[in-house]
A = this chain, B = another copy of it.
Amino acid sequence: MELLSLFGTADQKTRWLAPLLEGEIRSAFSMTEPEVASSDATNIATRIQRDGDHYVVNGHKWWTSGAMSPRCRLLIVMGVTDQDAERHRRQSMILVPTDTPGVDIVRSTSVFGYDDGPHGGHAEIVYDNVRVPIGNLLGEEGEGFRLAQERLGPGRIHHAMRAIGMAERALEMMCRRTAARSTFGRPIIEHGVVQRWIAQARVKIEQVRLLVLKTAWLMDTVGNRGARIEISAIKVAAPEVATWVIDRAIQAHGGAGVSQDHLLAELYAVARILQIADGPDEVHHMAIARRESRRYRESVAA
């Protein structure tokens, strides 16, 4: 929706954005590919080739989250339109209706043992000579990388906020459980090691929450591009806090913590995938380090 509202033509908005905003249909973003290391977006191999009034899409994607839903009618596909262009100008995005001939939704991939249900499922999709009109291109040819950057910013802060919510919930569950049970003559919550987990969880959550708030404020004031590095920072930091807190909450629950009786193991799976999705931690670390170090490298060169 963000992409369409920002970069869609009037026609595209009428046809797709309106029903999306009404909640009648859903869309999914199809970027990651099983055969290449997608953390380097220039590895993407799917081809989007012009053929008269159409583009022909050929490629193999997965982790197209949301595409398992029967209400998903639109796929936004990232692919190479010009192999010979400058690295960040090779790719474009195109709108592919789910029912276009050649679109084959193969299966859902699981996250740990969870398939994230019919609406949340992560689809593997083969695009085999999928033809769409040229009017389906989103933005200009070669703008795919730039558009992805625009989309991923807001997406990432949503993820970070959800990660904080998960961490809060896990901390509450940890406290509730350990207050209600005793070992060795005391409520578990009074054991020193558990107290340390609780204190560390609270201190970690407060810190990362403030960084997310600051980032949101930056996005509002200087825009997604200006907040790019802060977005990378919370993309790494929030899931790191969440996985840590959830993991300690699991430990405090004993066997119940990994079972279907509590949400914790499922929360862990969600938080853990956030360290991989939308660029793994390693890519964001590189971006943060690059900006941090830029002025020093220049001063050396000068």
Contact = CB atoms under 8 A, between A and B. Distances in A.
Interface of A: 32, 34, 36-40, 43, 62-63, 109-115, 122, 171-172, 175-176, 178-184, 187-189, 191-196, 198-200, 202-203, 206-208, 210-211, 214, 230, 233, 236-237, 250-251, 254-261, 265-266, 268-269, 272-273, 275-277, 280-282, 284-290, 292-293, 296-297, 299-300
A283 B236 CA distance: 27
Q: How many copies does the complex hold?
A: 4
**Interface pairs A-B: 9 shortest CB-CB:** A113-B113, A192-B192, A40-B183, A195-B289, A207-B207, A210-B210, A199-B288, A113-B114, A199-B285
A43 B288 contact: no
A257 B207 CA distance: 29
Contact of A282 (B112, B193, B261, B288): B193
A154 B294 CA distance: 36
B265 A179 contact: no
A203 B211 CA distance: 9
A254 B276 contact: yes
A199 B292 contact: yes
A282 B196 CA distance: 8
Contacts of A250: 272, 276
Contact of A233 (B115, B172, B206, B276): B206
27 contacts: A34-B256, A37-B182, A37-B183, A109-B259, A110-B259, A110-B265, A112-B114, A113-B266, A122-B255, A178-B293, A179-B293, A179-B300, A187-B297, A192-B193, A192-B196, A193-B282, A195-B293, A196-B285, A198-B293, A199-B284, A199-B285, A202-B288, A203-B288, A207-B210, A250-B272, A255-B273, A257-B276
Contacts of A38: 254-255
Given A206-B211, A207-B237, A286 B199 contact: yes
Contact of A112 (B193, B199, B269, B288): B269
A145 to B, nearest CB: 15
